[in-house]
Amino acid sequence: MTPEEYCQDKTAKSGSSFYYSFLLLPENKRKAIMAVYAFCREVDDVVDNKGEPHIKQIKLQWWRDEIKQLFSGQAQHPVTRALTPVVSEFNLPEEYFQEIIDGMEMDLVNTSYDTFKSLSLYCYRAAGVVGLMAAEIFGYQDRKTLSYATTLGTAFQLTNIIRDIKEDAQRGRIYIPQEDMEKFSVKKEELLSDITSDNLKQLINYEVQRARDYYQQAYAQLPRCDRYSQSSGLIMSSIYSTILDKIETDVSSVMHSRIRLGKLHKIWLALSTLYREHRQHKHYLKQSHAR
């Protein structure tokens, strides 16, 4: 198995919605983003898989050293070997990779967050930085697109937090800010219960609205000239926004099962989003030429 095949296999087996947004990219960009995503899965698995915290710290340190090896041209792991041509072709800095590891390390240290401000740093490291790397790979003309990418990454992370609220609580992690739980008088024990109180429903709706606000901020930050090149992110946004719709329709559902979309539904969202962006791009080009 080649390094590229390893990354594709890792991405496909993850079952992530991201996989469907990658398939429509040109080959070089598809391989690049899958290598980045495979790296994210590797370090995320270190934290999420069973094991002692000190062993997980050792494994994360191994990945820190391996990233240094990557940038010195001596990568050993299949993922970093796949990343070797990517980091130079798409100008991806070492600090982005190290910052993602910083985010994973926060999961080993923090089991909860007092404020949304403190959670925001985690969201940036765990997802915003990934957005920055994706923007570099997809391509852009206007640097405002980088603000869009980090904001959209936070929106994705907030969606994950809402979707996985009970699963995370069972692992001993509460990402919902304590200030929000106090605002709605929700105790941490309620996140483990099968009974969804009215207060908990109000809290979840509050977090859903915050996530929606971040999606809207991201769209407002995306320059029109870069919409088409950033289509993969917009495909992901369509998929994740649909997950939010399902949660909002039945708030208590997140306390009973993980909200998922079927494969055909994801493919339909990917194709319909790409079709919409293609039409808008053609219209934009016509307007540009008419000026």
pLDDT digits (tens, 9 = 90+) for 121-134: 999 999 999 999 99
User: Does residue 51 have a pLDDT over 90?
Assistant: no
Superfamily classification of domain 1-97: Farnesyl Diphosphate Synthase (1.10.600.10)
Residues 6-10 have a mean pLDDT of 86
pLDDT above 90 as % of the chain: 71
pLDDT above 70 as % of the chain: 97
- Delimit the domains of the chain by residue range: 1-97, 110-291
Contact 230, 222 (CB under 8 A): yes
Give pLDDT, residue 285.
Answer: 79
Name the band, by pLDDT with cuts 50, 70 and 90, for residue 138: very high
User: Does residue 214 have a pLDDT over 70?
Assistant: yes
- Provide the token pair at 6: 């390893």
DSSP class of 124: I
101-137 core/surface letters (b: 16 or more CB in 10 A; e: else): bbbbbbbeeeebbeebeebbebbbbbbbbbbbbbbbb
User: Does residue 101 have a pLDDT over 80?
Assistant: yes
Task: Give me the architecture of the 110-291 domain, per CATH.
Answer: Orthogonal Bundle (1.10)
pTM of the model: 0.92
Residues 265 and 47: their CA atoms lie apart, in Å, by 30
The domains spanning 1-97 and 110-291 adopt the same CATH topology: yes
